[in-house]
Structure 1
Amino acid sequence: MSLIARRPNDADDTAEGAAGAPRGKAGKAAKAAKAPRDPKAPKAPRGRTKDKPSKPSKPSKSPTSPKVTEARKADAPPRTGVSRQEGLAVGGEPRVDLLPPEVRTERRNARTRRGFGWAVLIVLLVVLAAAGGAFSLNVLSQAKLLAARSETASLLAQEQRYAPAREAQKQVALAQAAQQAGASTEIDWKAFLDQVGHAQPAGLGLASVAVDSVSPIALYQQSTDPLQGPRIGTVTVVGTSAALPNVPAWVAELQKIPGVVDVVPGTVTLDEVSHVYKATVTIHVSDTLYTKRFEPKDK
């Protein structure tokens, strides 16, 4: 808020008293033209004179004419005072700062130190919060570990009561595994030999049968003849006949039996004492003859 006071001037009062009065030579000429002529005043001599007075210059109609402005300035009376306005500010902010720069520098340094102090405090609080959280998680983990150990000990104590049952289960599982391993090469020879007997031609009887098969703990010896396939057992059959036997027909019937890999015919001999012919054939069998009785059902 500011208050403006104007100081009066004597020149302004004089100008206000003579309102509208023209100044300078132009004003005097105007007064002379307007004043009435005195009849008793002597008349001006007629005729030519050497010094002819100059006619008064007509005032310019334009208020901005430079000649009129200069004439007014020359004829204007001196003024005793100058009209001016002075402003007085009441309750305003001081315009002059007399604080030395060291004070401002110290204030800035103080603000900077306070900022660093708050930053260190915030970092400290964050570190303390992180440490507290880690400690809480550690305590919680330790509590869970103790609970798990206690539950494990309880389960082990309960398991001791069923130790005999578990031992029996182990014995049963071991017996089943041994049974599966021992019977893995089992072949139903009775059913197979019955099929061999049915394949004999008429007049031919079985004299002897020799069986050689694979063992669960050893591999079976394979033939070096490339025309013979892999086998897991060999059956040697000796047949007797009063007449000369038809060995090719016998071999053809034997090859029709399931599980037979190949049939190799042997020798045919005649017994001079009994007058009986003996014919020998060798039958090789494959692993399709395994019974697989003790294998799990899901396999």
Structure 2
Amino acid sequence: MSQSTKSKPSRSGRSRRRGVAPDPALRVAAETAERVKRQRRTTPSEIVVGGRPSVDLLPTEVLADRRGSRVVRRMWAGVVLVAIVVGIATAGASLLSSQAHDDLTHAQDETLSLLQQQANYREVRDTEAGTALREAAQSVGGATEIAWQPYLASLKASLPAGVEITGVAIDSATPLETYAQADTPLQGQRVATLTIDAQSPTLPSVPSWLDAVKGLKGFVDATANSVTLDPTTGTYTVNMTIHVDQAAFDGKYQDKGE
């Protein structure tokens, strides 16, 4: 009785202890849900509201052909743009060249007109050239000229009363040759030498004469060479040498040339 009343464990109890095998469909769904959660945590998702689902079913060759066509169209557009730029540049260069040619032609016409006008006044230009040449020759030839007549008048006025100049010898520079200078030291530069003979009724004071001629224009120095007495007339003759420098030049042709 006791053996019959002892209860045996049921089959369901054994199955609960051992564990029930899960359904494969449920396991796949659980794994998929877990994978979706992980993707949502790692990458942000974009939610499109109201978007129209679309699928590109064209073959890859068609897409590649379309991309190639776009590239070709862009290349041709670039070629056309380059051609337009080159055409504009060529037109601008042609326009500038044409303007330059017109300016050159106009300048040549003006030059020819001026030459023709100058030919009408050739005689006048020849006369002007000859005048300029003569003025230049006068300027060079008269560069060493001294107005001797007023200079001798100034010399005579500087001598004492009663003294007369009886002889004058002049040696002056020329435009073609440099005037010879003295070899004696302490003598100044000169451009002309006057050697005069003067008569005096009385014995002259030579130092006074030398002091008197110092006021002459361009005076450098003066020397009394000799004093002689003429017994027949009782007059004294003084021989004197006077040196003058370039300040004695009259410069009239130089002034005229300026």
TM-score by length of 1: 0.61
Distance 1:296 1:236 in 2: 29
Q: Residue 252 of structure 1 corresponds to which residue in structure 2? A: 211
Match of 2:194 among 235, 246, 254: 235
Flag the 1:297–1:179 CA change in 2: closer, same or farther, 3 A: closer
* Residue 294 of structure 1, CA deviation: 2.8
Taking the aligned partners of 1:218 and 1:164, their CA distance within structure 2 comes to 36
Matching of residue 223 in structure 1 with residue 189 in structure 2: no
Q: Structure 1: how far apart are the matches of 2:184 and 2:58?
A: 121
| Structure 1 residue 234, shift from structure 2 partner | 0.8
Larger of the two Rg values belongs to structure: 1
The aligned amino acid for 2:152 is L
Are residue 170 (structure 1) and residue 148 (structure 2) matched?
Answer: no
In structure 2, the residue matched to 1:49 is none
CA RMSD of aligned residues (A): 2.6
Whole-angstrom CA distance in 2 between matches of 1:209 and 1:159: 54
Corresponding residue number in structure 2 for 1:180: 139
TM-score, L = length of structure 2: 0.70
Identity across matched positions, percent: 38
2:249 equivalent in structure 1: 290
Select 1:139's aligned residue among 98, 103, 118.
Answer: 98
Q: Hey, what's the Cα distance between the residues in 2 that align with 1:148 and 1:95?
A: 76
- The number of residues matched between the two structures is 209
- The answer to whether the Cα contact below 8 Å between 2:135 and 2:257 also exists between their aligned partners in 1 is no
Q: Hey, what's the Cα distance between the residues in 2 that align with 1:145 and 1:202?
A: 81
Contact 2:201 2:236 in 1 (8 A): yes
Name stretches of at least 5 consecutive residues in structure 2 with no aligned partner: 1-49
Instruction: Report the Cα offset of residue 276 of structure 1.
Output: 4.8
Alignment of 1:213 onto 2:155:
no
Aligned to 1:265, the other structure's residue is in SS state strand
Note closer, same or farther for the CA distance 1:155–1:276 as it changes in structure 2 (3 Å cut): same
Secondary structure class of the residue paired with 1:268: strand
Q: Shift of the alpha carbon at 1:272?
A: 6.3
Distance 2:51 2:214 in 1: 131
**Which amino acid is the alignment partner of residue 98 of structure 1?**
L
Deviations 1:196-235 (A, max 9, x none): 1122234543231111111122221122334222211111
Residue among 239, 249, 252 paired with 1:280: 239
Structure 1 counterpart of 2:91, which letter?
G
Structure 1's unaligned 5+ residue stretches are 1-90
Residue range with higher mean Cα deviation, 275-284 or 214-223: 275-284
Tell me the alpha carbon deviations over residues 165-191 of structure 1, each in whole angstroms, 9 at most, x when there is no partner.
222222222222222222222211111
